Chains A and B, each alone.
Chain A
């Protein structure tokens, strides 16, 4: 075949390309994808959207980024602690260095503390209790302690998305690996792994989370994500196992074996890409489930520990004042959880339809 012939050959779109093409045609799923994209941006840039620490400031001749403190306490420049700012920047910046300047977050509210009077010249402090209704200053209202709900929710986006991704990532790794081994090896290996799957399915996650506290002093959100991952892999393992059972009998596996490919190579290089499509669906649904479980755990009092706000903990503090009728503490975090879960479900549905071979485009 010479070069000219080679150019005239039309390369037909691969499976993933075709699937993406079909996925894009589903408007709702694409909309959900955009929604998650926007949420991810909010999560990444949360300190720049709502916070009381300047994004960039010039202080005593140097440039600082105090807002990094929201990602990690230790990333906040120590000079501000040394100069006794006490986390109140606007007043202190001007007083201690009249030549300083700063770029502030869009909304001057903090997830860790209520804004007090005169932080800015003539500014009112956050209202609390029944007066904490949504206003132009506190978009989503305040808690009974005066914390701003909007700021807490913006910063809670980080946890909400992380919980879904990390726990499902762990679950997918374990589930796909074990499912692949069980399905491909068969026999006694399959029997043992299938029993393990059954055992994990029956162990209540709550018991696991409580016993985790025995091993680790203070349980962080990362431990909870790990635990959700360690208990949530069973459905993916079962699906992968089923696919591998089917695929190991096919001709291309026999061909690979004849060519002398190693067992691991056949499993992960040849079979896995073909088994991946059905597993994508529980992954998308798993992210939605992870977010829900984290919120539910917070409602029971076992969620993300303070000071990191998660949507579940906001919902829980709304539940404490439910009988006073402070609707803003329930409606905003509740809708946040709902919309995110809905978006992931729509994406999962989109993947399901897009990768279904029965709905594939005929021909090209």
Chain B
């Protein structure tokens, strides 16, 4: 197990090196540089002089050839120095710390909600399998699963923020909180945050809810046919006890893998949804930094997402061996 882990980690480091190298090359070849995407620079009266531009290029390290600049970045990254954002003039670590909160606020809520709802719904679907109510539920869930979340986001915005404007059902169009948030009392602040979260959380949740629900049902259908379930029923256990203690516990293994694979999504946010709702999270930060050619921010975010993706896969493999003793790594 230990040798397997060491090997996986070493290979993972190699992969990370490859990824960052590739991204660094790619973003440096994108048109424009941080110097000419800043709107302040567009103003002809404030056009920096040639000497100023040279000085700024030196400060940003843009005057160095690609490989030297990459090596410099790599050395800094190894000491956890992620650099300073060009456009916001703040350390990248600070920027990320600011944006992680709102993203987690959405992703953790949505993850909890979808798991809490999906398990009972999946179990219900197993019990009522083939009946009209189960069939209609599965049909609706399948439709939801195929419904692109950005389309749903726009539809919900249109319905709740525009068409129902002025009624008690009205919900805010976008943003994390209202403009007068600071002046509100504690309860009103919580209510305000809750209202702003409803639409984004709905859009984040319904797709994965449908997916997990189908996942639970598919796994349960396989387990429920096993001999030990028949035995449990035969010895007179109640249907609920059989369903949960004997059947559902045995479907947990695939669940664990799924959890490992959702790890990067938790912190990564979603560029499109955060963009539509103007939610100040990681996805929006990534999008803004690409538009502004903010190299240090793009690099740090990519590094972070890559580490999360790779460790999510590793975690899934390791957990797999833990919950299923038949699997061995050597």
A is bound by B = yes
Interface residues of A (CB under 8 A from B): 191, 195, 198-199, 201-204, 206-208, 210-211, 213-215, 288, 292, 295-296, 299-300, 315, 318-319, 322-325, 327, 330-331, 334, 337-338, 341-342, 345
List the A side residues contacting B322 at CB < 8 Å. Answer: none
List the A side residues contacting B148 at CB < 8 Å. Answer: 292, 295-296, 337-338, 341
8 Å CB contact of B290 from A206, A296, A325: A206
Beta-carbon contact of B162 and A322 below 8 Å = yes
List the B side residues contacting A214 at CB < 8 Å. Answer: 29-31
Beta-carbon contact of A207 and B23 below 8 Å = yes
- Complexed CA–CA distance, A330 and B11 (Å): 47
Beta-carbon contact of A334 and B309 below 8 Å = no
Contact mask for chain B residues 146-184; partner A; CB cutoff 8 A; 1 contact, 0 none = 111011001101100111000000000100000000000
- Complexed CA–CA distance, A322 and B174 (Å): 12
Closest Cβ of chain A to B273, distance in Å, is 10
List the A side residues contacting B306 at CB < 8 Å. Answer: 202
List the B side residues contacting A195 at CB < 8 Å. Answer: 11, 14-15, 18
Beta-carbon contact of B151 and A337 below 8 Å = yes
Give the bracket for the number of chain B residues in contact with chain A: 35 or more
Task: Look across to chain A and name the residue whose beta carbon is closest to the beta carbon of B270.
Answer: A296
Closest Cβ of chain B to A241, distance in Å, is 15
List the A side residues contacting B162 at CB < 8 Å. Answer: 322-325
Task: Look across to chain B and name the residue whose beta carbon is closest to the beta carbon of A297.
Answer: B272
Closest Cβ of chain A to B11, distance in Å, is 7
Q: Is B321 on the interface with A (CB-CB < 8 A)?
A: no
Q: Is B305 on the interface with A (CB-CB < 8 A)?
A: yes
**A299-B150, A323-B173, A325-B162 known; A204 and B29 CB under 8 Å?**
no
Q: Could you list some 5 contacts between A and B, CB below 8 A?
A: A208-B26, A322-B154, A322-B157, A338-B146, A338-B147
Chain B 290-316 residues near chain A, CB threshold 8 A: 290, 298, 302, 305-306, 309-310
- Complexed CA–CA distance, A324 and B162 (Å): 8
Q: What secondary structure prevails in chain B residues at the interface with A?
A: helix
Chain B 125-157 residues near chain A, CB threshold 8 A: 142-143, 145-148, 150-151, 154-155, 157
Q: Is B258 on the interface with A (CB-CB < 8 A)?
A: no
- Complexed CA–CA distance, A204 and B287 (Å): 11
8 Å CB contact of A345 from B145, B272, B298: B145
- Complexed CA–CA distance, A180 and B275 (Å): 39
- Complexed CA–CA distance, A311 and B302 (Å): 30
Beta-carbon contact of A342 and B29 below 8 Å = no
Closest Cβ of chain A to B59, distance in Å, is 23
Beta-carbon contact of A345 and B146 below 8 Å = yes
Task: Look across to chain A and name the residue whose beta carbon is closest to the beta carbon of B306.
Answer: A202
Closest Cβ of chain A to B110, distance in Å, is 18
List the B side residues contacting A215 at CB < 8 Å. Answer: 29
Closest Cβ of chain B to A256, distance in Å, is 31
Q: Is B319 on the interface with A (CB-CB < 8 A)?
A: no
Beta-carbon contact of A295 and B150 below 8 Å = yes
List the A side residues contacting B14 at CB < 8 Å. Answer: 195
**A300-B272, A315-B151 known; A199 and B22 CB under 8 Å?**
yes
- Complexed CA–CA distance, A325 and B162 (Å): 6
8 Å CB contact of B287 from A206, A319, A323: A206
> Counting chain A CB atoms within 10 Å of each CB, which of B145, B162, B309 scores highest?
B162
Chain B 95-147 residues near chain A, CB threshold 8 A: 142-143, 145-147
- Complexed CA–CA distance, A342 and B142 (Å): 8
Closest Cβ of chain A to B156, distance in Å, is 11
Beta-carbon contact of B305 and A296 below 8 Å = no
8 Å CB contact of A338 from B151, B275, B287, B310: B151
- Complexed CA–CA distance, A323 and B173 (Å): 9
List the B side residues contacting A337 at CB < 8 Å. Answer: 148, 151
Beta-carbon contact of A211 and B146 below 8 Å = no
Contact mask for chain B residues 25-45; partner A; CB cutoff 8 A; 1 contact, 0 none = 011011100000000000000
Beta-carbon contact of B29 and A325 below 8 Å = no
Q: Is B253 on the interface with A (CB-CB < 8 A)?
A: no
8 Å CB contact of A207 from B173, B290, B309: B290
Q: Is B279 on the interface with A (CB-CB < 8 A)?
A: no
- Complexed CA–CA distance, A313 and B148 (Å): 15
Beta-carbon contact of A198 and B158 below 8 Å = no
Q: Is B240 on the interface with A (CB-CB < 8 A)?
A: no
Closest Cβ of chain B to A214, distance in Å, is 5
**Which 4 A/B pairs are nearest by Cβ-Cβ distance?**
A342-B146, A202-B306, A334-B151, A211-B26
- Complexed CA–CA distance, A312 and B266 (Å): 26
> Counting chain A CB atoms within 10 Å of each CB, which of B29, B148, B161, B309 scores highest?
B148
